[in-house]
Amino acid sequence: MKILYAIQTTGNGHLSRAQKLVPEFSKKAEVDILTSGPLNDFPTYKPPIKHYKGFKFFTSESGSINWIKTIFLNNYFQFFIDVLKCPVRDYDLIISDYEPISAWASIIKGVKCVALSNQYVLNSKNVPKPKKYSRLVLTAINFLCPTKIGYGYHYRPYNENILDPIIRDSVREINTSTKNEILIYLPTYSIDNIINIINKIPVQMEWTIFTNRIDSNYKSEGININSISDNLFIEKIGSCYGIICAGGFSTTSEAIYLGKPMLVVPVKAQIEQQFNAAALEKEGIQILKEFSLNYIDKINEWIHSPTVLHINYEDNSGEIVNKILKTNT
């Protein structure tokens, strides 16, 4: 049996899940990896057979998705060509972690494709939802990566097709501690913007910013600026006081597993993160609309009185693979 495991490379969440699941699928079948999106040096189980430019989401300096640029600056002709050339017919099953080229190629060419991503849960009736969200954007999310069969991840098992988060082995192996250090991982915010806000917070803490916008680590105004190195980030999240992060699923899930306080700043107009934030807020986690000077008091309040959500997610990657193969082959 041959499986194509297709990964969308925006952020590290889709890739980190692949680190756990691809080896499990490889025990049962011959597996190739395909990727699309921004070039990302996050390690995968094996090199991809193909990387496509894919579909790009453009963001502003304030952290919101710029839908005008996103709609009009993507190359749809190249996307269509890539869909036609995508070699899905060489495989018995396609696994798509929100990778649109393989999903569309599977629809067009009649190959079975299973969605395996937290975007899939957005359509569930039982999942906590934000008070306001765009149904048009939700339709666009579904249209971008269409599938008839799917499984999703969430913090709680809201229905039978929702799975526990995939926690990487490197995170499970951490011996946690608590230092006087706060991590900030807000990839869509500029470093200068974050530093300006940190300098207005009246708390004596060590601050470390993780970003994908630099090539080497440095200090600025006493604040650590680190490239988003996988090993260093894992080391730091295991020993930090708390983390201020976007609403991405993998980072928030790992913080929950480690029992680390979170202050979550979901990316504006990114519907998946808005849904994640709604679920986290229901669990008592503090949510900010934006990381700005307008919320200094809220940030300070979180530092002095954070809410901790700790769930010891079991390693169920083998069970997930068995469930998918049993029902789809």
- Which distant-in-sequence residues (6+ apart) come within 8 Å of 290 by Cβ? 62, 63, 265, 268
Question: Of how many residues is the chain composed?
Answer: 329
- Which range of 208-212, 246-250, 298-302 scores highest in mean pLDDT? It is 298-302
Amino acid making up residue 162: I
Largest distance between two CA atoms of the chain = 59
Q: Report the pLDDT averaged over residues 25-41.
A: 90
Lowest mean pLDDT among 53-62, 257-266, 300-309: 53-62
Asked whether this chain's domains 2-167+314-328 and 169-304 adopt the same fold, the reply is yes
DSSP string, 164-222: PPP--HHHHT------SEEEEE-TTS-HHHHHHHHTT-----EEEEEESS-SS-EEETT
Q: Report the pLDDT averaged over residues 67-92.
A: 92
Instruction: In whole angstroms, give the CA distance from residue 85 to residue 180.
Output: 52
Instruction: In whole angstroms, give the CA distance from residue 270 to residue 325.
Output: 31
For residue range 99-154, list pLDDT tens digits in order.
999 999 999 999 999 999 888 888 888 999 999 888 888 888 888 899 888 999 99
Closest CA relative to residue 118, chosen from 255, 270, 263: 270
Q: What is the pTM of this model?
A: 0.89
Q: Does domain 2-167+314-328 have CATH number 2.30.30.30?
A: no
Confidence tier at 61 by pLDDT (50, 70, 90)? low
Q: Are 51 and 39 in contact (CB under 8 A)?
A: yes
Long-range contacts of 309-314 (CB under 8 A, 24+ apart): 309/256, 309/259, 309/262, 309/280, 309/283, 309/284, 309/285, 310/256, 310/257, 310/258, 310/259, 311/155, 311/256, 311/257, 312/257, 313/164, 313/165, 313/167, 313/253, 313/256, 313/257, 314/164
For residue range 189-202, list pLDDT tens digits in order.
999 999 999 999 99
**Helix (H) / strand (E) containing 116:** strand 113-116
Percent of the chain with pLDDT over 90: 67
- Which distant-in-sequence residues (6+ apart) come within 8 Å of 123 by Cβ? 138, 142
For residue range 151-168, list pLDDT tens digits in order.
999 999 998 889 999 998
Q: What is the pLDDT of residue 62?
A: 55
The residue behind tokens 């049962």 is 28
Mean pLDDT, the chain, whole residue set: 91
Q: What is the pLDDT of residue 42?
A: 66
- By CB atoms closer than 10 A (0-12, 13-18, 19+), residue 64 is middle
The larger pLDDT score, comparing residue 66 to residue 313, is at: 313
Domains of the chain, residue spans: 2-167+314-328, 169-304
Please determine, for residue 63, whether its predicted confidence score (pLDDT) is greater than 90. Answer: no
Confidence tier at 246 by pLDDT (50, 70, 90)? very high
Select the CATH number that applies to the domain covering 169-304 from these four: 3.30.450.20, 3.30.470.10, 3.40.50.2000, 3.50.30.10: 3.40.50.2000
Amino acid making up residue 33: I
Please determine, for residue 329, whether its predicted confidence score (pLDDT) is greater than 90. Answer: no
Please determine, for residue 215, whether its predicted confidence score (pLDDT) is greater than 90. Answer: no
